[in-house]
Structure 1
Amino acid sequence: MIGRNTARQHACVIRLGFIELPHDLPPTSAIWLDDAPDWAVIDPALERFDRQPPPPPVTPA
């Protein structure tokens, strides 16, 4: 249900397919758009990435 990524240790990915509707968890980005089917409807207001997003910059502790 939850995914982690070593390049994004501050974030976790929640698979929305495991969460019952209705919920108030809006998406913040759309990723892997190169692989999206032609019929996919992607909100143009979302941050978009054709492939995996780049890792965030390292911030000093």
Structure 2
Amino acid sequence: MARYLVKNIVASGLCDKCEIQLSYAIGIAQSVSIFLEDFNTAKIEKNKIVDFIVNNFDLSPK
């Protein structure tokens, strides 16, 4: 899932290079934590990119 997110973020032009870490807990449907490292290549604020991820992608484990 993290690779899919990174590919979409870079393809949409939100940043040139990034790394995403997702953490999950047993019994919780959504991701507990989302960490975004943009290597200072983000075109917008990191918080807005994370909000974009949360609002537009289903992060529940499959």
TM-score interval for Structure 1 and Structure 2 normalised by the shorter chain:
under 0.3
TM-score, normalising length from structure 2?
0.26
Higher helix share: 2
TM-score, normalising length from structure 1?
0.27
